[in-house]
Structure 1
Amino acid sequence: MRRGKGDDPAIAAAVAIAVLCVASAVLLANGAAEREELTTQLSNGFTAAHAAGAAVPFEPVLYAPSSAFALGFLRVGAASLDLAVVHLPSSFPVWRATPARLGDWSSPATLTFDDGSLVLTGHDDGVLWQAVDTVGDVVVLLDSSNLVVRRHEKTVPEWESFRHPSDTLVLGQNFTRSSPPLVSANRRFSLRLGKTYMALHMEFYGGRTTPTYWRHTALEAQPEDGTEPPVYGRLDARGFFGLYLEGGGGDQRVDVLSFDTFVQNLTGAFRRMTLDDDGNLRAYYWASGSKAWTSDYRAISERCELPTPCGAYGLCVPGKAECQCLDDNSTSAPAAADAPSCHAEETADLCAGSGQQLGFDVVRRKRVSVAYKEELPFETNRTAEECEAACAGNCSCWGAVHSGASGYCYLIDFPVETLVYEADDRKVGYFKVRKPTPASSTGMSPGVAAATAALSLVLVGLAMAGACIGYQIRKRRKRRRAGMEQELVGGMYKDLNSMDSSNNSFRA
């Protein structure tokens, strides 16, 4: 049987290969076109609008060349809006603008780059955030996640997000004494750098009070040497956070915080160090093919050593991850970030002005201590009674913890947070609890509230009597109009008398 030319296997194979080549070329061209469509640079005159109430939590407007990061509108919580640089594989924001007043996700917002300045504007045209003191020609997002505003003729950026961290540090980002502190997303904790140390702080009263609960001093730094330059910190791809001396030739490392992967020679991973909402400083890495961040460092290893695992006036029991209330021995749920507080969080002190102190109740408890007591102010050679008295008369003091074995008295000059249980009856605590304001819903004293209620009842009674009298008057006038109409029609005399009689009886 003869086979046609079109049936030749070699020809068919050649045709198939040609089709595959054409299809591959088309796919590659489409992919290149898609990549070209990604915005990798913003020029003067750029404007992007946030769609009010957008269904997606992130709206990118600028991409890094690698497409691993993007800058855009980010939904924070259920209804707030912020500007952020997001690590796209994990959807984690490595940088946020964190303005003092967040935008409203359900309302429109605008990001503009005009006259050399990058500005985020709310729906009322109010400025939410701005890269201040900046005049640039372009905005770019580097593959390091650094957002940069720069001039064409200069290599040094006019402004960069690396100098304005939020809650996270990434590879290649220097953290110095002049850098803003790292602040947790819930605004309750911060990381600050001193001349020779780094420290974690609690944030009270809008940052006016920042007690320290963790500190690490550079081992090779010389705090007594007044001429030695301060230290700065930087995350290293090899798996550590290094502390270096500023200035001089090259990097002079004076200390290292080693991560779990330090000896594993892990390469190709993206690393970050974040101050989490529980107050712990942790390091994470994202390796190629990862589906989640892996934690390989934490500054505080035990939960009860964290500043607030059990909330206001809570007591953490080490080893059991249990919470108790200082004024109740019952055990609550395991210690966790969402553990219910025994009392409401305090947002103001007990000072009423002129040195006076607001009313408070007292809670005394044995077998208590403070996990970070070495960071608290203390007095020595005190009895438990003297320790209590030192706090009782001071309106800025919220509590005192006394150690009978050493005679140390630790004063707590900020709202009482989680204490730690210690099986020693000689360790006693004295704590103030603000008294609730009487009739707090109205702001009135009980006597004024009672008088107001009585007056309200009188006014209601008068109003009801007035309504009744008005109803009677309207009814009388209606009947009078009816009698006049019958008189004009020429009704019988006896009917008029009857109507008049009726009206008289109504007036009686």
Structure 2
Amino acid sequence: MRRGKGDPAIAAVMGVLCVASAVLVVAGAKGGELTTQLLNGFTATHAAGAAAAFEPLLYATNGVFAFGFLRVGTASLDLAVVHLPSSFPLWRATPARLGDWSRPATLTFDSSLVLTDEDDDVLWRTLDTIGDVVVLLNSSNLVLRRYSKPVPAWQSFHNPSDTLVLDQNFTASSPPLISSNRRFAFRLGKTYMALHMEFNGGRTTPIYWQHTALEAQPQNATEPPVYGRLDGRGFFGLYLEGGGQKVDVLSFDTFVQNLTGVFRRMTLDDDGNLRAYYWTDGAKGWISDYRAIAERCELPASCGAYGLCVPGTAQCQCLDNTTTSTSPQCHAGETADLCATDGRQQLDFDVVRRKQVSVAYKEELPPETNRTAEECEAACAGNCSCWGAVYNGASGYCYLMDFPVETLVYEADDRKVGYFKVRKVPSPKRARMSPGVAAATAVLSLILAGLAAAGAYSGYRLWERRRRKRAGMEQELVPGPYKDLKTMGSSNSSF
């Protein structure tokens, strides 16, 4: 491994890489220098099954952030930029296939950063980049630079995972924020930002929350798109690209408190809510400062697949009965649709009908009007891409769900009815034999049947011969009239 410039302590840091946590490494490094840059030729190997959840390789000069190997869950490996005081990953590489924490993995820098597994298969890399040095800025931005160019060749701020931090621009062309469980996404449109559910690998992305910039003009086709940025004064601002004109502000709880010296982040959490947090020196945890969705029942999956959330108490029930169910879920979650591969028919499904139900995010579902409850149900029943229909008898609105059914909301109104499809679990099928195997099996069966018949016939012939022989012997031994025993004795008196 090549040492970074001005970094005589790198060997000592790497010596404790496999056994020290991120916080311990920083505490032990206060009296010495930190690894603050990686040069071409750098190589580091993850120690298989390391006890520490984070193995730092590179530090920001302020010692608050570090970049290195991160254990995800109990067994997976990723690369991450970690906020050391809280051990929270602000950025992750999130490759399509995570590494295995129990096996070695190698990170190299030779114009680009590349993570490979023990078989030299590439897990992740910075695409189309040529860099001379890798640094971690005090903003937590991981940057690849060329000495001759001021603009970074690659930076983590342009490739977010599930979190935005201070002064990080988020645009319509940015990759979306994806929750760590891969179920939800935060995207920016030309004049709005929205939260999406992720189904079927992101091919189906229904919106469940949306905020349009107040001063943006969607009818103006020439107006530039908006972008978002987290501000240290306690808000998320929306601005017009190019001129930077502010068109909307999402104010946090601390907006009027004029907090200074705090670090802020906005994260798409695994429950699907977009939240903002801040961290102060000496804090024991992140302090919540904003949430896009206020009530649990308004979250898209708070009670799981085919669940029913009761507002106020936030109690969970199942759509097909009244049993309280928070874990396990009422039904297994779906990921695809009910269309058969030929596209001409639906897969088998069961039906659940329920009164007093509604969709929390129905304003994001375009309604069909002037329908009866029966017509609403029929419109979904005959469409293999439809998973459910919710009908409002008061307004005549019919809401069709072209995505797997998640949490519905209880509403005490019998005119609100729902029709929902539940995929049937296919019965196990017997494995089909190839024609050759089937023919051989048939021939063998005929041979065995012939042998069995021949054996039975031979057995019958043997039994018949024995029966006839036994009958002849019995005929020879049939006695005549009994003789006088005395006479028989007198005739043998010479003995």
- Which of 212, 225, 229 is the equivalent residue of 1:217? 212
Is structure 2 residue 123 aligned with structure 1 residue 123?
no
Is structure 2 residue 222 aligned with structure 1 residue 227?
yes
Counterparts in 2 of 1:63 and 1:398: CA distance versus 1, 3 Å: same
Residue 135 of structure 1 corresponds to which residue in structure 2? Answer: 130
Q: Which amino acid aligns with 2:430?
A: M
Q: Which amino acid aligns with 2:356?
A: R
Q: Which amino acid aligns with 2:305?
A: A
How many angstroms apart in 2 are the aligned matches of 1:33 and 1:68? Answer: 12
- Which of 58, 61, 72 is the equivalent residue of 1:62? 58
Residue 479 of structure 1 corresponds to which residue in structure 2? Answer: none
TM-score (norm 2): 0.81
Is structure 2 residue 271 aligned with structure 1 residue 278?
yes
* SS across alignment from 1:348: coil
How many angstroms apart in 1 are the aligned matches of 2:301 and 2:325? Answer: 15
Q: Which amino acid aligns with 2:311?
A: P
1:244-291 superposed Cα distances (whole Å, 9 cap, x missing partner): 00002xx21000000000000100000000000000000000011111
- Which of 296, 317, 321 is the equivalent residue of 1:324? 317
Counterparts in 2 of 1:106 and 1:33: CA distance versus 1, 3 Å: closer
Tell me by how many angstroms 1:348 deviates.
1.9
* SS across alignment from 1:328: coil
Is structure 2 residue 359 aligned with structure 1 residue 349?
no
Q: Which amino acid aligns with 1:295?
A: S
* SS across alignment from 2:325: strand
Residue 465 of structure 2 corresponds to which residue in structure 1? Answer: none
Tell me by how many angstroms 1:36 deviates.
4.2
Q: Which amino acid aligns with 2:199?
A: F
How many angstroms apart in 2 are the aligned matches of 1:62 and 1:395? Answer: 51
Tell me by how many angstroms 1:33 deviates.
7.8
Contact 1:438-1:444 at 8 Å conserved across structures: no
Residue 96 of structure 1 corresponds to which residue in structure 2? Answer: 92
Counterparts in 2 of 1:130 and 1:405: CA distance versus 1, 3 Å: same
Q: Which amino acid aligns with 2:71?
A: R
How many angstroms apart in 1 are the aligned matches of 2:274 and 2:55? Answer: 29
Residue 193 of structure 2 corresponds to which residue in structure 1? Answer: 198
How many angstroms apart in 2 are the aligned matches of 1:425 and 1:261? Answer: 42
Residue 394 of structure 1 corresponds to which residue in structure 2? Answer: 383
* SS across alignment from 1:99: coil
1:191-227 superposed Cα distances (whole Å, 9 cap, x missing partner): 0000000000000000000000000000000000111
* SS across alignment from 1:206: helix
Q: Which amino acid aligns with 2:247?
A: V
Q: Which amino acid aligns with 1:96?
A: R
How many angstroms apart in 2 are the aligned matches of 1:219 and 1:106? Answer: 50
Residue 41 of structure 2 corresponds to which residue in structure 1? Answer: 45
TM-score (norm 1): 0.79
Is structure 2 residue 158 aligned with structure 1 residue 163?
yes
Contact 1:60-1:71 at 8 Å conserved across structures: yes
* SS across alignment from 2:196: strand
Residue 269 of structure 1 corresponds to which residue in structure 2? Answer: 262
Tell me by how many angstroms 1:387 deviates.
0.1
Contact 1:310-1:340 at 8 Å conserved across structures: no
Q: Which amino acid aligns with 1:140?
A: V
Residue 301 of structure 1 corresponds to which residue in structure 2? Answer: 294
Is structure 2 residue 439 aligned with structure 1 residue 444?
no
Q: Which amino acid aligns with 2:291?
A: R
- Which of 96, 101, 104 is the equivalent residue of 1:105? 101
Tell me by how many angstroms 1:35 deviates.
5.1
Identity %: 78
**Higher-Rg member (1/2):** 2
- Which of 304, 313, 327 is the equivalent residue of 2:306? 313
Q: Which amino acid aligns with 2:54?
A: F
Residue 180 of structure 1 corresponds to which residue in structure 2? Answer: 175
1:376-411 superposed Cα distances (whole Å, 9 cap, x missing partner): 132001000000000000000000000000000000
- Which of 60, 70, 73 is the equivalent residue of 1:74? 70
Counting only pairs closer than 5 Å after superposition, residues 444-483 of structure 1 correspond to structure 2 as 444=430
Residue 348 of structure 2 corresponds to which residue in structure 1? Answer: 359
* SS across alignment from 1:143: coil
Contact 1:86-1:95 at 8 Å conserved across structures: yes
Gaps of 5+ in 2: 1-26, 433-437, 449-495
* SS across alignment from 1:158: strand
Residue 340 of structure 1 corresponds to which residue in structure 2? Answer: 328
Residue 285 of structure 2 corresponds to which residue in structure 1? Answer: 292
1:9-66 superposed Cα distances (whole Å, 9 cap, x missing partner): xxxxxxxxxxxxxxxxxxxxxx998554421000000001100000000000000001
Is structure 2 residue 401 aligned with structure 1 residue 420?
no
Residue 243 of structure 1 corresponds to which residue in structure 2? Answer: 238
- Which of 146, 149, 152 is the equivalent residue of 2:147? 152
How many angstroms apart in 1 are the aligned matches of 2:292 and 2:69? Answer: 31
Gaps of 5+ in 1: 1-30, 334-338, 447-451, 463-508
How many angstroms apart in 2 are the aligned matches of 1:42 and 1:344? Answer: 46
* SS across alignment from 1:157: strand
1:106-144 superposed Cα distances (whole Å, 9 cap, x missing partner): 000011111x11111111101111111110110000000
Contact 1:313-1:419 at 8 Å conserved across structures: yes
How many angstroms apart in 2 are the aligned matches of 1:33 and 1:81? Answer: 25
Tell me by how many angstroms 1:332 deviates.
2.9
Q: Which amino acid aligns with 2:355?
A: K
How many angstroms apart in 2 are the aligned matches of 1:155 and 1:293? Answer: 34
How many angstroms apart in 2 are the aligned matches of 1:49 and 1:445? Answer: 45
How many angstroms apart in 1 are the aligned matches of 2:317 and 2:234? Answer: 38
How many angstroms apart in 2 are the aligned matches of 1:175 and 1:35? Answer: 37
Residue 465 of structure 1 corresponds to which residue in structure 2? Answer: none
Residue 423 of structure 2 corresponds to which residue in structure 1? Answer: 434
How many angstroms apart in 2 are the aligned matches of 1:267 and 1:33? Answer: 27
1:466-494 superposed Cα distances (whole Å, 9 cap, x missing partner): xxxxxxxxxxxxxxxxxxxxxxxxxxxxx
Alignment RMSD (CA, Å): 1.8
How many angstroms apart in 1 are the aligned matches of 2:306 and 2:173? Answer: 35
* SS across alignment from 1:378: coil
How many angstroms apart in 2 are the aligned matches of 1:434 and 1:73? Answer: 40
Q: Which amino acid aligns with 1:390?
A: A
Contact 1:46-1:112 at 8 Å conserved across structures: yes
Is structure 2 residue 359 aligned with structure 1 residue 370?
yes
